Amino acid sequence: MDALSIGDVTHVASLNGTENYFEACTELLVPFGKIAMIDDPSTPLDVSKLKMKSVSLHLEFMFARSMFNAKDIQQQNVLLNRISELVDQGHIQTTSGENLGAINAQNLKLAHQQLETGKAIGKIVLAGF
């Protein structure tokens, strides 16, 4: 991390494949850091590694408010509007990777093949929905 001039890692957003990077994340995080994850790891995570550093783990599910009719359901609108502002201001960038063009059987098969390699970076886009 020093070689990359990144400095202290206080927060980690784990969006995919958390089970593959969880141990590295816990090692990189400073004490009292935070890990947020949105995926569903395919294997159990050893969260005991977080205790010694007092790292907190935050789980997010996009539809939790609507599924459980949460009292703060309007907060979803506030959050989405804030994300939209940050995108418009250039503070957040899309995770779009490759655009394969129109959705059709050939492009869908190609997208699936790329995903199966486990090496796709960003989202694979198919247009025309």
Write out the chain's pLDDT in tens, 129 residues. 777 788 899 999 998 899 999 999 999 999 999 999 999 999 999 999 999 999 999 999 989 999 999 999 999 999 999 999 998 999 987 778 899 999 999 999 999 999 999 888 888 999 987
No. of helices (H) and no. of strands (E), the chain: 5, 5
pLDDT score, position 62: 87
101 and 85 both lie in a single domain: no
Residue 30 CA to residue 12 CA, distance in Å, equals 11
102 and 127 both lie in a single domain: yes
27 and 79 both lie in a single domain: no
pLDDT score, position 95: 79
88 and 127 both lie in a single domain: no
**How many structural domains compose the chain?**
3
Task: State the residue range of the domain holding 12.
Answer: 1-60
| Per-residue tokens: 39 | 């995926």
